[in-house]
Amino acid sequence: MESRESGDLVKRDLSLKIGEFSSTLGVFKDVEIQVGRILEEWEEPLGPTPFPDITALREWDLKLLSRYKPFYMPFCDLCCLCTFGKCDLTGDKRGACGITMAGQQSRIVLLACCIGASAHTEHARAMLNHLIEEYGRDTPLDVALNTNVEAPHTRLVCGFRPRTLRDLDDALSYVESQIVQLLASTATGQEGNNLDYESKVFHVGMLDHVAMEIADIAQISVLGFPKGEPEAPLADLGFGAIDTSKPMILVIGHEVLPSVEIVNYLMDQGLFGEVEVGGLCCTAHDTARYNKRARIIGPISWELRFIRSGIPDVVVIDKQCVRTDVLLECKKIGSPLIATSEMSCHGLPDRTHDEPDKIVEDLVERRIPGALILDPRKVGEVAVKVAMKIAPRREGVRPLGVEESGELAKRCRHCGECTRACPNNLPIMEAMSLARNGDFTLLSSLYDLCVSCGRCESACPEDLPIVSMINAAASKKIAEERSKIRVGRGAIQDVEIREVGRAIVFGEIPGVLALVGCANYPEGGGDVARIAEEFLKRRFIVVASGCAAMAIGMTKDEEGLSLYEKYPGVFDAGGLVNVGSCISNAHITGAAIKIANIFAKRPLRANYEEIADYIYNRVGAVGVAWGAMSQKAASIAAGCWRLGIPVIVGPHGSKYRRMLLGRREREEDWMVYDARTGERVYIGPAPEHLFYAAETVEEAIVMVAKLTMRPNDTSKGRAVKLSHYIDLYQRYYGEMPPDLHLYVRSNADIPFTMRDQVVAALEKAGWVEGKIASPDPTLLERLIRRRL
C-alpha cells in the first residue's frame, strides 16, 4: 500500500491491520500485503504477536499471575463509579453490577495505569505531531551511536522497524486504539474477573513503554539530545545553582517543546547568559539534554518551595505533575503563568493567536494573571520578554524571612492538624513550638523530609504558610543546594549491550538496578542516593531516570561531589547511567530487551512472550521506584511486570493497593521447563516477587540483592549474587537469611569467602544438594527443543 499522503489514511490502514491481526497466525501474509510499507520484510521474520490485541498475551500474563498472586489492600471499600452506587464492597459483598472487591481493586489499578499510559501517549502524540509539522514526516530516526536496534519496544510489540517519524506515528496509533479499548473494559458491567483485569494492566503497561519510546526517540532524533553517550555532559542541579541576580524563567512539567523554544529564542537573541532557565521535574531533564546550561532545580517536590522562594519571574508549565494550584502560587509572588498545553489550561485566556508583544504587555502590566499559548515558538518569545521586563519590577518580592516565621509560629494553636495531614507524619507542631522561641533547628530539619505537598497548610486553622516557614528556616541549606548531574544520555548502545550481555545473563555482573519514579519519599531523597551508592560500590549497573535521577545527584560527599562525578556513565559494572526523563524509562526496559536480542540472538520482531520469558529467567534486572507517586509510575511498573522485571516501591507505594507477591514456600509455584529436555523442574523462588512495597530503605536494599537472582545464573554468578544478599541481610537483620537454602542449588553456588557460615546455615535448614535445578529455564512449552 503506497498511498500514504495523509495522516488519516495511515490511521485507517492501521485500524484495518489491527483488526486482521486479532485473529490467528494464519492471516499474517494477507495482512503484510495490505500494510506493506510498515511491515516490510527485513532479515528478521515476523514473530507470533505483531500489534497484539488485548488478549494476545493473556496466557503469558496468567502464567506470571499464577506465581505472583495479587494481594489487594483496598484503599477505599466503596465504589461510586455509576448511579447504581455507592456500593459497599467490603469483604465478600458485591456491587450492584456484581463486581467483587478483588475485581474492583484490579479495575482501579487498570484505571490508574490507563491514566498513566494515556499521559505518556498524549505526550508522545503532541511531540510527534509537532515534530512532523516542523520537520516533516520523512525525518529519519537517529537514536543512539553504535546502535542498530533503535526502537526495541516498537520492534518487539508492533513487529516493525521504524525508520522515520511517520513510522512512529503508525505505532502510536496502535497504542492509542488499544488504550481506548482497555479503558472501555472498566465500564460498569464489562470485565468481571480480577485476573483478567490484571492481564489488561500488563497490556497497558506494555503499551506505555512503546509510547514512551516513541516520545523519546522522536525528540532525541530531532532535537539533538545526547545519543546514548556515556559521557553526556554534567549539568548544574539544585536551588543554589540559580543566579538570582538575573531574570529567571521556571519551566515545570514533562514536555520539553516550549522550553526548547525558550532556549532557542535566548540563543537567537544572544541573551542566553542574561536570563536563567531552570526546570522542575522531567522538563528540566529534557531541557538540560537540549542545552546543558539549563539548570535542573529539582524533582516535583521542589515545586511549591521553589515558587515560594519568589525567584521565578515567569513560570511556564507544560504537562503532568504540575500542581493544579500553580496559578494561585504564581499570583502570590506576582509572577505570570504561561500554560502551554491543552492538558492544563488553568482557566487562562487563550492567546495563542495574538501578537507576542501584545501578550507580553498584558502580562507585564498584570492585566491578566497568565496566558494559554499553544504555540511553543510563541511561548519562547513571550516568556523571555516577560521575564526581562518584569524582573526589575519584581525586585521587591522576597520570600518569607526567618524572623517573620518566628512571629508567625506564635500563632500556632498546637492543634496537631498539620501532622495529621502530613503524609510523612512530620512533627510540625513541635517545630512551631521551638520556632516561636527562636529555635529553628527542628523546622529546618523538616526541609529534608518534607515532600512539599502543602497538605499541612490546607489543614492549619491559622492558615500558617508552613512550607514557606520551613524554607525560611532552611535558607542556608537551600543556598548550598548545588551539585552536578549527568544529563540524560537516552538509550543504551548496542555495543554496550554486546559487551555486558554475557556477564549479566550469567550473573557475573550481579544485577542491573533501575532507580526510577517520583519523589514521594518517606524520609527524603537521600535514601535514593544511598541505595544507588550501595549498589555502585558492589559493581551493579545502576540506571536512573526522572526525579530519582535528580535525587541521586542532590546528595554530595564531604568533598562536595555527587555520585555522577564519582562513577562513570557507562552501562557496565559500577556505571551510573542517567537515561533522562520519565519517558526515557523505555530505554531501561529496552536495554533488557536488547540483551535478549543482541546478546542472546533471540528474535525480537513481534516476539513478546519469548523475549519476556528470556528476561524473566535470565536478566537480573530490578526496578526501584522509592518515591513512586503518579499513575504514570504505575503504568511504567506494569510494563516491567509483563517483561518479568520485578519492581520495588517505597512504603507510600503500598497505596497502589495491589502487590504481586510470590510464596517462596510453595514449591509447586516455582517450576519451569528445562528447554533442553522438556522436563518440569524446581528452580527455587527466583525472583521472589514482581511488585513489592518495602517498609524501610534497608529492607528494600536487601530485597534488591535478592530479586536479582534468576534461574539461569551460573554457579559463579549465583555465588556473587548470594554473597551480596547474605552480606546485606547480615548487616541489617543481624543473621543469615532464613531462605538461603532456597537459592543454593549446589555446592558450587556457595560464595567462597562465606563457605563455613553458609554450610552451617544450609545444614540447619536441611538443605540437600541438587534439589534445585539449573535448567535452561522457560515458562513456554513451545520453546522446548527436545522432549524426553
Partner 1 sequence: MSAKLTTGQTAEIAGPKKAFLIPKPEVAASMMNRARRILLVVGSEAIKVKTKDGDLIDTAIRMASSKRITIAATGHISGEFRRRGAVGVHGISIMELGDRLRDPSWSGLDNGGPYDLAVFMGLPYYLEWLVLSGLKNFAPSLRTISLDNTYHPNAGWSLGYSPQEEWIEILDRIVSNLEGAG
Nearer to partner 1, 92 or 668 (CB): 92
Q: How far is the CB of 698 from partner 1 (least distance, A)?
A: 4
- Packing angle, helices 428-436 and 402-409, rounded to 10: 110
Nearer to partner 1, 176 or 457 (CB): 457
Q: Which of ligand SF4, partner 1, none has residue 451 at its interface (CB below 5 to 8 Å by kind)?
A: ligand SF4
User: How many other CB atoms are there within 10 angstroms of residue 595's CB atom?
Assistant: 27
> What pairing do the DSSP bridges indicate for beta strands 248-252 and 276-280?
parallel
Residues found in the chain: 788
Q: Which of partner 1, ligand SF4, none has residue 560 at its interface (CB below 5 to 8 Å by kind)?
A: none
Q: Which of partner 1, ligand SF4, none has residue 738 at its interface (CB below 5 to 8 Å by kind)?
A: partner 1
Q: Which of ligand SF4, partner 1, none has residue 703 at its interface (CB below 5 to 8 Å by kind)?
A: partner 1
Q: Applying CB under 6 A, what is the total number of residues that bind ligand SF4?
A: 42
Q: Which of partner 1, ligand SF4, none has residue 454 at its interface (CB below 5 to 8 Å by kind)?
A: ligand SF4
Q: Which of partner 1, ligand SF4, none has residue 450 at its interface (CB below 5 to 8 Å by kind)?
A: ligand SF4
Nearer to partner 1, 50 or 70 (CB): 70
3 state SS of 94: coil
User: Is position 99 an interface residue for ligand SF4 (rule: CB under 6 A)?
Assistant: yes
- Packing angle, helices 631-642 and 58-67, rounded to 10: 100
Nearer to partner 1, 84 or 733 (CB): 733
Phi, psi of 673 (to 5 degrees): -85, 145
Q: How far is the CB of 686 from ligand SF4 (least distance, A)?
A: 37
Q: Applying CB under 6 A, which part among 256-264, 416-424, 631-639, 647-655 lies near ligand SF4?
A: 416-424
Interface residue with ligand SF4 among 3, 5, 396, 414 (CB under 6 A) is: 414
Q: How far is the CB of 303 from partner 1 (least distance, A)?
A: 20
Map residues 672-711 to x or -, x wherever contact with ligand SF4 holds by CB under 6 A. ----------------------------------------
238 Cα distance to chain centroid: 21
Q: Which of ligand SF4, partner 1, none has residue 692 at its interface (CB below 5 to 8 Å by kind)?
A: partner 1
Q: How far is the CB of 185 from ligand SF4 (least distance, A)?
A: 13
Q: How many helices (H) and strands (E) does the chain have?
A: 30, 21
Map residues 133-172 to x or -, x wherever contact with ligand SF4 holds by CB under 6 A. ----------------------------------------
Q: How far is the CB of 422 from ligand SF4 (least distance, A)?
A: 3
Q: Applying CB under 6 A, which part among 375-383, 389-397, 423-431, 552-560 lies near ligand SF4?
A: 423-431
Interface residue with ligand SF4 among 16, 96, 145, 503 (CB under 6 A) is: 96
How far apart are the C-alpha atoms of 289 and 340, rounded to whole Å? 20
Binding site for partner 1 (CB under 8 A): 69, 71-78, 88, 90-92, 101-102, 417, 420-423, 425, 459, 522, 651-652, 654-655, 657, 659, 661, 663, 689, 692-696, 698-699, 702-703, 732-735, 738
Q: Applying CB under 6 A, which part among 26-34, 217-225, 453-461, 539-547 lies near ligand SF4?
A: 453-461
* Surface-to-core class of residue 788, CB atoms within 10 Å of its CB (0-12 exposed, 13-18 middle, 19+ buried): exposed
User: Is position 101 an interface residue for ligand SF4 (rule: CB under 6 A)?
Assistant: no
Nearer to ligand SF4, 83 or 245 (CB): 83
User: How many other CB atoms are there within 10 angstroms of residue 676's CB atom?
Assistant: 13
Q: How far is CA 352 from CA 131, 322, 700, 760, in A?
A: 18, 21, 48, 73
**Please, which residues bridge with residue 778 across strands?**
673
Nearer to partner 1, 310 or 646 (CB): 646
At 80, which amino acid appears? C
CA 631, 95, 100 angle in degrees (round to 5)?
Answer: 65
Interface residue with ligand SF4 among 45, 136, 416, 738 (CB under 6 A) is: 416
User: Is position 456 an interface residue for ligand SF4 (rule: CB under 6 A)?
Assistant: yes
User: Is position 459 an interface residue for ligand SF4 (rule: CB under 6 A)?
Assistant: yes
What is the torsional sign of CA 94, 97, 98, 101?
A: negative
How far apart are the C-alpha atoms of 637 and 644, rounded to whole Å? 10
Q: How far is the CB of 418 from partner 1 (least distance, A)?
A: 10
DSSP tag of 765 = T
Q: What's the CA dihedral at 40, 13, 638, 195 to 10 degrees?
A: -110
How far apart are the C-alpha atoms of 313 and 316, rounded to whole Å? 10
User: Is position 97 an interface residue for ligand SF4 (rule: CB under 6 A)?
Assistant: yes
User: Is position 454 an interface residue for ligand SF4 (rule: CB under 6 A)?
Assistant: yes
Nearer to ligand SF4, 85 or 349 (CB): 85
Map residues 185-214 to x or -, x wherever contact with ligand SF4 holds by CB under 6 A. ---x--------------------------
User: How many other CB atoms are there within 10 angstroms of residue 189's CB atom?
Assistant: 11
Q: How far is the CB of 200 from ligand SF4 (least distance, A)?
A: 16
Interface residue with ligand SF4 among 142, 274, 430, 462 (CB under 6 A) is: 462
Q: How far is the CB of 86 from ligand SF4 (least distance, A)?
A: 6
Q: Which of ligand SF4, partner 1, none has residue 84 at its interface (CB below 5 to 8 Å by kind)?
A: ligand SF4
Q: How far is CA 679 from CA 41, 613, 652, 684, in A?
A: 36, 17, 42, 15
Q: How far is the CB of 94 from partner 1 (least distance, A)?
A: 13
Q: How far is the CB of 322 from ligand SF4 (least distance, A)?
A: 17
Cell numbers found for residue 311: 525567584
Asked if 259 contacts 295 with a C-beta cutoff of 8 angstroms, the reply is: no
Q: How far is CA 783 from CA 16, 22, 157, 422, 715, in A?
A: 31, 23, 19, 52, 24
At 89, which amino acid appears? L
Residues whose CB falls within 8 Å of the CB of residue 335, separated by 6 or more in sequence, listed in order: 307, 312, 313, 314, 315, 390, 394
Q: Starting from the edge strand earliest in sequence, which strands make up the sheet with 777-778, in order?
A: 680-682, 671-674, 777-778
Q: Which of 420, 451, 416, 439 is nearest to 321 (CA)?
A: 451
Interface residue with ligand SF4 among 264, 405, 424, 562 (CB under 6 A) is: 424
User: Is position 415 an interface residue for ligand SF4 (rule: CB under 6 A)?
Assistant: yes
Residues within window 28-87 making contact with ligand SF4, judged by CB under 6 A: 79-82, 84-85, 87
Q: Applying CB under 6 A, which part among 96-104, 397-405, 476-484, 734-742 lies near ligand SF4?
A: 96-104
Q: How far is the CB of 577 from ligand SF4 (least distance, A)?
A: 30
Longest dimension (CA), the chain: 83
One DSSP character per residue, 316-366 reads EE-SSS--TTHHHHHHHHT--EEE-BTTB-TT--B-TTS-HHHHHHHHHTT
How far apart are the C-alpha atoms of 292 and 233, rounded to whole Å? 7
Q: Starting from the edge strand earliest in sequence, which strands make up the sheet with 248-252, in order?
A: 370-372, 337-339, 314-317, 248-252, 276-280, 295-298, 234-237, 483-486
Q: What's the CA dihedral at 285, 288, 290, 293 to 10 degrees?
A: 170
Q: Applying CB under 6 A, which part among 122-130, 452-460, 513-521, 577-585 lies near ligand SF4?
A: 452-460
Q: Which of ligand SF4, partner 1, none has residue 97 at its interface (CB below 5 to 8 Å by kind)?
A: ligand SF4
How far apart are the C-alpha atoms of 240 and 478, rounded to whole Å? 6
Q: Which of partner 1, ligand SF4, none has residue 460 at its interface (CB below 5 to 8 Å by kind)?
A: ligand SF4
- Packing angle, helices 165-184 and 194-223, rounded to 10: 160
User: Is position 421 an interface residue for ligand SF4 (rule: CB under 6 A)?
Assistant: yes
**Which residues form the interface with ligand SF4 (CB under 6 A)?**
79-82, 84-85, 87, 95-97, 99, 188, 412-418, 421-424, 426, 428-429, 432, 446, 450-456, 459-462, 464, 466-467
